Amino acid sequence: MVTIISMLLFILVLGYLDSRLRWPKPNDKTPKYVSIAERSKTLRRD
Amino acid sequence: MLAGHFGLAAMVKAREPQVPLWSLMLAASLLDIVFLGTYAAGIEGFSSATGGGLGYGELHIDAPYSHSLVGALAISLLALIVAGVAWGRRNGLVIGFMVLSHWLLDVLVHRPDMPILPGNAGNLPLLGLGLWMVPWLSAFVELCLVLAGAYMYYHAAMRSAVRAERAEAKVGSAAAVAGGGYRQQAMLSSIVMFALLLGTLAANFFLGG
């Protein structure tokens, strides 16, 4: 009984509370990693 | 083990914040959910390992399908594919790992009652390191998972909330002007997480499964 109740609480209640936070979404595109050396090549000087 | 599985899911959420928490919690308990189904169908079951009660660490689980190594791998693979199709390869791998982690943690605490092949085909040796035979030690391991999970989740949630508030402050939205809205929600989720983790561990320890 403890198992079933805790599963429901964790999945439904906590899942609902957590969904209201501003986490990134599963299908969000993560920024592609660009090395510092690569970035410095594209820097412009005034 | 019950709270320990959810504690590990909270830790994974902190490291992989893009995966919804409900899916991690569902994945962490998927083998037990399958077990509940097979138990209701009379295929699997449990009994007292000590000949006495069914308290914490006193269970002998007779789950030759849902908790066999190959069965757990198959369920993990299925979850990986479903999550991978919906959310991409990385998130699928996270969900697949989460499902399999249940079996790995169970091997740590179970008495030798977990078969390698479904139905214990071939009568291969049963697996289980038997940490449940020392209940206080098993509970201590679970407590470590619970505390680490709650701590990591709190920090990840607050970090995410602060980032969201900063982003909204830049565009001057009403939510940001109100101030602290996301942090309050993150605090509420963290408190509920901690209370549920600790409450589950205490209930499991004192009342059994």
Alpha-carbon distances, residue B61 vs B39, B46, B83 (angstroms): 11, 4, 28
Interface membership of A28 toward B (CB under 8 Å): yes
Interface membership of B150 toward A (CB under 8 Å): no
pLDDT in tens, A13-37: 988 999 999 899 998 876 556 667 7
What pLDDT is attached to residue A43? 63
Chain B residues in contact with A18 by the CB 8 A cut-off are 13, 20-22, 157, 189
CA B7 to chain centre: 6
Q: Which residues contact B63 (CB under 8 A, 6 or more apart)?
A: B35, B38, B44, B45, B46, B113, B114
What pLDDT is attached to residue A45? 56
Chain A residues in contact with B86 by the CB 8 A cut-off are 26
What pLDDT is attached to residue B207? 86
Alpha-carbon distances, residue B173 vs A11, B168, B181, B182 (angstroms): 31, 6, 12, 13
Using the beta-carbon criterion (under 8 Å), do B185 and A21 form an inter-chain contact?
Answer: yes
What pLDDT is attached to residue B38? 95
Using the beta-carbon criterion (under 8 Å), do B192 and A25 form an inter-chain contact?
Answer: no
Q: In tens digits, what is the pLDDT along chain B, a chain of 209 residues?
A: 889 999 999 999 999 999 999 999 999 999 999 999 999 999 999 888 887 778 888 888 899 999 999 999 999 999 999 999 999 999 999 999 999 999 999 999 999 999 999 999 989 999 999 999 999 999 999 999 999 999 999 999 999 999 888 888 877 766 555 556 889 999 999 999 999 999 999 998 998 76
What pLDDT is attached to residue B89? 94
Whether the predicted pLDDT of A39 surpasses 80: no
What pLDDT is attached to residue B171? 75
Start-end of H helices in B16-68? 21-28, 30-40
What pLDDT is attached to residue B60? 87
What pLDDT is attached to residue B57? 83
Chain B residues in contact with A29 by the CB 8 A cut-off are none
Using the beta-carbon criterion (under 8 Å), do B193 and A14 form an inter-chain contact?
Answer: yes
What pLDDT is attached to residue A27? 87
What pLDDT is attached to residue B164? 87
Chain B nearest C-alpha distance from A41 (Å)? 28
What pLDDT is attached to residue B178? 57
Chain A residues in contact with B208 by the CB 8 A cut-off are 2
Residue in B17, B21, B186 nearest the CB of A14: B21
pTM, 2 dp:
0.87
Interface membership of B91 toward A (CB under 8 Å): yes
Using the beta-carbon criterion (under 8 Å), do A27 and B21 form an inter-chain contact?
Answer: no
Main-chain phi, psi angles of B82, to 5 degrees: -60, -50
Residue in B87, B185, B207 nearest the CB of A26: B87
What pLDDT is attached to residue B78? 98
Alpha carbon distance B35, B104 (integer Å)? 16
What pLDDT is attached to residue B139? 95
Six-digit token string for B16: 């992989």
